[in-house]
Structure formats: structure tokens, C-alpha cells
Amino acid sequence: MEMRLIDTHAHVDLEHYDGDREEVVERAKNAEIGFINMGLDIDSSKKSVNLAETNEGVYAGVGFHPHEASSFGSPDPKRLRKLSRSDSVVAIGEIGLDYYRDNSPRKDQREAFRTQLDLACELGLPVSVHNRSSTEDLLRLLKERDEVPRGVSHSFFGDYELGLEFLDLGFYLGLSGPLTFGGEKELKEAVKRFPLDRLVLETDCPFLTPVPHRGERNEPSYVSHVTEEVAKIKGISEEEVSERTTENAVRLFDINGE
């Protein structure tokens, strides 16, 4: 499949798509948009792998979201390792910390995060890292490691200085729907300064729906609206943003063996 764009973070396995999942995947395919479906726990990771194995242009991430960290047990690294044997798996994700919701105890979140970072290094896979109200701990856990896996700061939402912290760790920055919101001046100013060769595009669908569909369910085909906003902010063509961010995603996630 020829891919004009890649949505590097989606959740099309969720129940939000139970009524029209095939149509959502087909719309992305018709728009020449590939996507990476990230797992949230073991069941979600299995569904992500199945979705990727049965649809051209779809890839999978396997992992435990910080909300699910309290259910992350000693057998799970082995289960994730087994799932990662599929050629469709290109990432360990979605992993990270979330101190905003605190749906799992913070100690459990940190332990699950460390273990999955270790797994990513073992398998040579990049990570998709969730960070909400947890920047200090998250950066500390990354910086204290002897080996930091390559990866992306998922749905980056911060200022230029925070972005540099992730770039200095070798990470890419994932840009999603909030970039299109009118009030995000600080984020827009930061994106203007970030190098294009370290940016990838995301939807985080069904969440974070970009303008002009804000308030609706998000889907991979809507990543084109993030492309438009990046082009507008940087004063370059949408074609250049599409080409460069797709190259970045292919390089980061080693898609198609490139």
C-alpha cells in the first residue's frame, strides 16, 4: 500500500468502532493513510495485532497504558514479548505515566513503565510514551537509564524547552488534534521551532479530534488536518509535511523494513 501519511498512534480496536471498524480502516486506506494501532493492555494489544495482521497499511504497538498499570503482572512481559513476534508489531506502546487521572497507583505506573522500557530495549523496538502531569518523574526515569530506547513523546503538549528535553533523549515528538485548537499558542510557537525531521503525526483516535471535526469521534483519516496545521505553522506546503513526517515514521518504527 502506498502511504501518503502515517497516523502513528490510533486505538481503532476500541468499542467506539464496533459498528463500523471496517469502514474506518477503508477510509484511511482510500486516503493512502497508514496507521499504528497502540495497545492499552494485553487484550487490547492482541486486538491491535489482529487488526494489523488482517489489514494492509495497519501496524501494531503492544503495551500497557499507565491507566492499566495496576493490572500489569509478572507474566505480562512474556506475553508482550510473544505478541511482538508478529511482523506487524512495530512498537511497545502505549506506555508511560499519568498523574492526572491516577487510575493506577503511581508506584505501579513507574514499575510498569520501567519494565516495558527494558522490554523495548531487549526487542529493539521504539516506544510510544504517554505523559500527563508526570513530566518530572517521566524524564527522570528515562534519564537514569543506561540505555534509552528510541521513541516518541505521544501527543506532545508542552513548550519548546520541554520538547528539547525529549529531542535530547533521541525522541521524536508526536503532534495530534490539540495543535489545531485555537487557544494553543504556546504549542504552536514551539512546533514552529522544532525541526521537521523529528516530528510525527498522530490522531490518538477516538480521542483528541482535530478541527474541523472537534466534538466528533476521531479516526485515522483525520490526521490530514494535523498535517494542514503543521504546514500553516511552519509556512511550508502540506506535501512537504506529508513527505517528511511519513519518512520520519518509517524511520522511527522501521516500517516495511526500511
pLDDT in tens, 222-238: 999 999 999 999 999 99
**Better-scored residue on pLDDT, 256 or 209:** 209
Question: Of all residues in the chain, what percent carry a pLDDT higher than 90?
Answer: 97
Average pLDDT of span 139-161:
98
* For residue 183, pLDDT beyond 90: no
| Predicted TM-score (pTM) above 0.95 | yes
Q: Is the CB of residue 209 less than 8 Å from the CB of residue 216?
A: yes
Q: Are strands 172-175 and 199-201 parallel, antiparallel or unpaired?
A: parallel
pLDDT in tens, 71-109: 999 999 999 999 999 999 999 999 999 999 999 999 999
Phi-psi region of 233 (alpha: psi -120 to 50; beta: other; left: phi over 0): alpha
The set of cell numbers assigned to 125 is: 523496538
- Least Cα distance to 118 among 60, 76, 70 occurs for 76
pLDDT in tens, 64-74: 999 999 999 99
pLDDT in tens, 139-148: 999 999 999 9
Q: Is the CB of residue 75 less than 8 Å from the CB of residue 64?
A: no
Mean pLDDT across the chain: 97
Q: Classify residue 174 by its DSSP letter.
A: E
Domain region containing 188: 5-257
Q: Residue 138 — pLDDT band, cuts 50, 70, 90?
A: very high
What secondary structure does DSSP assign to 99-157, as a single string? Answer: TTT--S-HHHHHHHHHHHHHHHHHHT--EEEEEES-HHHHHHHHHT-SS---EEETT--
Quote the number of domains for the chain.
1
Q: Sort 24 into a burial class: Cβ within 10 Å, 0-12 / 13-18 / 19+.
A: buried
Instruction: Return the bridge partners of 37, or none.
Output: 10, 60
pLDDT in tens, 25-61: 999 999 999 999 999 999 999 999 999 999 999 999 9
CATH number at residue 60: 3.20.20.140
- pLDDT value of position 208: 98
